Amino acid sequence: MNRKQFFLGIVLASLIGGLVAVLGVGLLQTNQDTSTNFTEKQNASLVNWLNDESFVVPEGINFVASAAQVTPAVVHVRSTVSVSRSQQGLDPMEELFGFRSPRGESTPREGRSSGSGAVISEDGYIVTNNHVIENASKVEITLEDNRRYTARVIGADPTTDLALLKIEANNLPFIPFGDSDQAQIGEWVLAVGNPYELNSTVTAGIISAKSRNIGILRDENNLQVESFIQTDAAVNPGNSGGPLVNLNGEIIGINTAIASRTGGFSGYSFAVPSSIAKKVMDDLLEFGAVQRGLLGVTIQDVNADLEETLGEDIKADRGVFVVEVREGSGGEEAGLKRGDVIIGVDGVDTYTTSSLQERVARKRPGDKVVVKFLRDGKEMETTATLKNTSGDTKVVVKVIPKITEFEGVVFEDLKVEYQERLELEGGATITSIDNKAWREAGVQEGFIITKIGRTKILNGEDVVKALKSYEGEEVIVLGVYPNGQRSYYELDL
């Protein structure tokens, strides 16, 4: 081989290698961008993984490996909300119309809530608690290396107290989901978060119990799901939304609550199991809303007092007593009746309401479950098709509010949940203000505009039309903050 042939070979090899690399990266990016669940996203990213499958916990229980693995992916979540303050004296506008003046003490101040979160994909998706970001006009994320981002709320689920956030970042360390079903009572776990603003705090404990229902979640349709992992790892205010991880560095729960009479840690804390958390995150990622499959039964734990309370012979020592079967539900179609005692779902024992709710909460409308139950003491099985809250098997897709911008102010059509909670026909929420006149008037982000002058506002387009019609005039903008405080502002257009 002469020198010319040698160099020509090197050039060709380089070109081929570069082409393979470019195609490979493009393929990985394409696969990642089309992921609709976090199993695919986490498997596709080769970042922040304990690649050694033979990893074992060091003799004597060493928490170093797990702590080093997860702390770079635990974030600080700060939410900005509008907080009302008492008004000094009476104002003519408030007295006549129930709206508060923008002057002095009547202007709502900005309140802040603080919690934790866990990065669950390298492209910036974050899991946290719903109560950490609820009613927030702005959500700010601080990474362990002090980089700061403004997050979008992809979706939230009050019935499980979970929320999915997104920041615009890539190549982030993340924590993979583990299997909470495999977690055992007595197993060592770590709670990681930001209690009392102390970043990247790691505490250790054991799993004290599973499937705990402590009655802290509320839902107007009684769809709340409580099946907490109970631990004695120290969790305090600020830990909410942070991960509970096993010694392999996997999320097995999202820290949510503490048992306390003082507000601080008193011995026990509670985490949403990863079996529920991952399903909720996948739903929010794919649909923007949680897909709840319902059996359609009202239930109650079998216990020593139940027979006396109901005045009936239950013929079961434990299980979940069916108090009522809703008409047209999957449970009714499967043949379940009042008085049945459910003891299993899909081959797994469910002797408590919390364990039954957890099993069903993993499913979507249209999914089938095999229900094992007792009727008059005789064991039976049936297959039920789960339905949604509307009584069918359709997927519920989140409606994304329309965004409108005018002269540096961004307006978002009022979300349905705010319309219902604040009893409004419509309105437009201010999500961003980069306008001197609006700032000087005292308007704050999160303010919901319901009227401009004499013009009723139902959406962002109405705002723009009204502002154009009043151009060059002084006009009064009326509305309400998410906390229910009504206000008005005098704006010079």
Which residue is listed with tokens 């360390």?
Answer: 173
Q: In the annotation, is 123 catalytic? A: no
Summarize pLDDT for 124-173 with one digit per residue, the tens. 999 999 999 988 878 999 999 999 999 999 999 999 999 999 999 999 99
Burial of 78 (0-12, 13-18, 19+ CB in 10 A): buried
d(CA 447, CA 110): 12
At 85, is the secondary structure helix, strand, or coil? Answer: coil
Q: Write out the binding residues for substrate.
A: 131, 161, 238-240
C-beta of residue 232 within 8 angstroms of C-beta of residue 205: yes
Name the CATH architecture for the domain at 403-492. Answer: Roll (2.30)
pLDDT of residue 445: 86
Instruction: Output the average pLDDT for the chain.
Output: 83
Q: What is the DSSP string of 230-259?
A: EE-S---TT-TT-EEE-TTS-EEEEEEEEE
Tokens of 172: 């982030």
pLDDT of residue 42: 80
Higher pLDDT, 226 or 95: 226
Summarize pLDDT for 230-239 with one digit per residue, the tens. 999 988 888 9
Q: Compute CA distances 180 → 39, 268, 278, 306, whole Å.
A: 15, 18, 10, 31
Q: Write out the binding residues.
A: 131, 161, 238-240
At 443, is the secondary structure helix, strand, or coil? Answer: coil
C-beta of residue 126 within 8 angstroms of C-beta of residue 167: yes
Q: Whose CA is closest to 409, among 442, 439, 379?
A: 439
Q: In the annotation, is 131 catalytic? A: yes
d(CA 49, CA 69): 8
Tokens of 245: 């991880």
Active-site annotation holder among 123, 157, 161, 282: 161
DSSP assignment letter at 267: S
Q: Whose CA is closest to 32, among 187, 171, 145?
A: 171
Provide, rounded to the nearest whole percent, the portion of the chain with pLDDT above 90. 51
Summarize pLDDT for 292-320 with one digit per residue, the tens. 899 999 999 998 888 888 888 888 889 99
Tokens of 436: 């001197």
pLDDT of residue 484: 83
CATH 2.40.10.120 for domain 36-285: yes
- Start-to-end CA distance of the chain, whole Å, equals 81
Q: Give me the half-sphere count of Cα atoms (radius 13 Å) on the Cβ side of residue 492.
A: 5
d(CA 483, CA 134): 11
Which residue is listed with tokens 């709710």?
Answer: 357
Question: Strand 348-349 and strand 228-231: pairing?
Answer: unpaired
Cα angle value 55/127/460 (rounded, 5°): 155
d(CA 135, CA 184): 36
Higher pLDDT, 69 or 8: 69
Run of H or E including 31: helix 3-33
Per-residue pLDDT, averaged over 390-399, amounts to: 80
d(CA 175, CA 119): 6
Provide the residue ranges of all domains of the chain, joining segments of one domain with +.
36-285, 297-385, 403-492
Q: Compute CA distances 126 → 163, 170, 172, 212, whole Å.
A: 8, 12, 11, 25
Residues 6+ apart with CB under 8 A from 441: 102, 477, 489, 490, 491, 492
Provide, rounded to the nearest whole percent, the portion of the chain with pLDDT above 70. 82
d(CA 81, CA 99): 19
pLDDT of residue 251: 96
Per-residue pLDDT at 348 exceeds 60: yes
**Alpha helices by DSSP H, 48-202:** 64-70, 92-97, 130-133
* pTM above threshold 0.85: no
Longest dimension (CA), the chain: 100
pLDDT category of residue 352 using cuts at 50, 70 and 90? very high
Active-site annotation holder among 45, 121, 131, 282: 131
Number of residues that make up the chain: 493
Q: Compute CA distances 74 → 180, 255, 361, whole Å.
A: 19, 12, 26
d(CA 8, CA 306): 86
Q: Which fold has domain 297-385?
A: Pdz3 Domain (2.30.42)
Check the CA dihedral 463-414-477-93 and report its sign.
positive
Cα angle value 40/46/48 (rounded, 5°): 105
Residue 395 sits at φ, ψ, to 5 deg, of -80, 135
Per-residue pLDDT, averaged over 184-201, amounts to: 90
* Fold agreement between 36-285 and 297-385: no
Q: In the annotation, is 161 catalytic? A: yes
Instruction: Give the bridge partners for 345, in sequence order.
Output: 348, 371
